[in-house]
Amino acid sequence: MQGRVSKGLSSTSFDVVKLCHRGENIIQRPLRGKEHAASKMQNARQSLHAQSFHFRALINRQGKLNVHGTREKHNPFADLYHYLFSLSWPKFFIYAAAVYVLINLFFAGLYLLSGVDKHFSQCFFLSVENMVAVDYGRAGPAGLVVHALMTVQAFLGLLTFAVITGLFYARFSRATARVIFSNKAIISRHNGAPCLFFRIANERLNQIAEARMTLHMTKNETSLEGEKTRKFYDLKLERDHTPLFSLSWTVRHFIDERSPLFGMDEAKMREAQMGVLASLTGTDETFSQPIIARHAYSMEDIVYNRRFKDIIIWHDKKVHIDLKGIHDLYEANTSGDS
pLDDT tens digits along 295-318? 999 999 999 999 999 998 888 888
Q: Which domain holds residue 201?
A: 179-331
One domain for residues 198 and 267: yes
- Domain presence at residue 81: no
Same domain, 164 and 187: no
Report the distance separating Cα 130 and Cα 124, nearest Å: 10
Are 275 and 297 spatial neighbours (Cβ–Cβ below 8 Å)?
yes
> Closest by alpha carbon to 259, among 213, 230, 298, 216?
216
| Residue 225 lies inside a defined structural domain of this protein | yes
Helices (H), 229-337: 266-271
Q: Cα(129)–Cα(118) distance, rounded to whole angstroms? A: 18
Whether residues 196 and 327 fall in one domain: yes
Residues 195 and 292 in one domain: yes
pLDDT category at 39 given cuts 50, 70, 90 is low
CATH code for position 121: 1.10.287.70
Do 186 and 149 belong together in one domain?
no
Residue 20 has pLDDT above 80, yes or no: no
Please give the DSSP secondary-structure letter assigned to residue 160: H
pLDDT band at 22; cut points 50, 70, 90: very low
79 domain residue, yes or no: no
| The pLDDT value given to residue 57 | 63
Q: Which of 327, 306, 219, 302 is nearest to 268 (CA)?
A: 219
- Kindly report the CATH number assigned to the domain that includes residue 314: 2.60.40.1400
Instruction: State whether 183 and 167 are in the same domain.
Output: no
The identity of residue 231, as a single letter, is: K
Is 19 a member of any domain? yes
Q: Decide if 93 is inside a domain.
A: yes
* Strand ranges (E), the chain: 14-18, 27-30, 179-181, 185-190, 193-202, 208-222, 228-235, 241-245, 248-254, 275-284, 289-298, 302-304, 306-308, 312-315, 318-321, 329-331
Burial class (CB in 10 A: 0-12, 13-18, 19+), 332: middle
Q: What is the pLDDT of residue 186?
A: 96
Q: What is the mean pLDDT of the chain?
A: 80
Does residue 208 sit in the same domain as residue 317?
Answer: yes
pTM (predicted TM-score): 0.68
As a whole number of angstroms, the distance between CA 223 and CA 262 comes to: 20
Q: Is residue 61 part of a domain?
A: no
In terms of domains, do 244 and 199 share one?
Answer: yes
Q: What is the average pLDDT across 50-65?
A: 62
The number of folded domains in the chain is 3
Which class for 298: exposed (0-12), middle (13-18), buried (19 or more C-beta within 10 A)? Answer: buried
In this structure, the answer to whether residues 158 and 101 fall within a common structural domain is: yes
- The pLDDT tens digits for 236-269 are 999 999 888 888 899 999 999 999 999 999 999 9
Are 190 and 320 in the same domain? yes
Q: Is residue 337 part of a domain?
A: no
Are residues 26 and 98 both part of a single domain? Answer: no
Tell me: pLDDT of 38 over 80.
no
